[in-house]
Amino acid sequence: EVQLLESGGGLVQPGGSLRLSCAASGFTFTNYAMTWVRQAPGKGLEWVSGISSSGDSTFYADSVKGRFTISRDNSKNTLYLQMNSLRAEDTAVYYCAKDGCADVICYFDYWGQGTLVTVSS
């Protein structure tokens, strides 16, 4: 059974940093790209960032480019999102999702339960 377990969310002040983690199990982690998608309270889905199976290629939404960094540790089956210079508009539930593809960002066939990030003073 595929499981994705996010952690690291919480309350942070504007300008602060957080590091999200996503522990994956139940599939061969090294074979698939991975993605972060967020959802602001009461709003729709917004793709944030993706990373290829090897970690060689990374992709970002314009809204987070230069502030967020996606990475993965294939030896630990874990995906990360380092979030710096956080803004109020980054407040959202952040979902980790498994891609259906290896080296490009495509559809997302498994999702974690999400972790809430709140940016507020």
Contact residues for another protein (CB under 8 A)? 37, 44-47, 50, 59-62, 95, 100, 104-114
The distance of closest approach from Cβ of residue 59 to another protein in the complex, given in angstroms and rounded to an integer, is 5
Distance CA 95, CA 87 (A): 18
Closer to another protein by CB, 13 or 65: give it. 65
Return the sign of the alpha-carbon dihedral for residues 57, 96, 42, 82.
negative
CB of 94 to another protein, least distance (A): 11
Of 78 and 115, CB closest to another protein: 115
Among left, alpha and beta (phi > 0; psi -120 to 50; other), residue 74 is alpha
Would you say 51 or 119 has its CB closer to another protein?
Answer: 51
Residue 1 Cβ, how far from another protein at the closest point, in Å?
Answer: 12
CA distance 116 to 9: 5
Least CB distance from residue 121 to another protein, whole Å?
Answer: 28
**Token pair in block for residue 40:** 């602001």
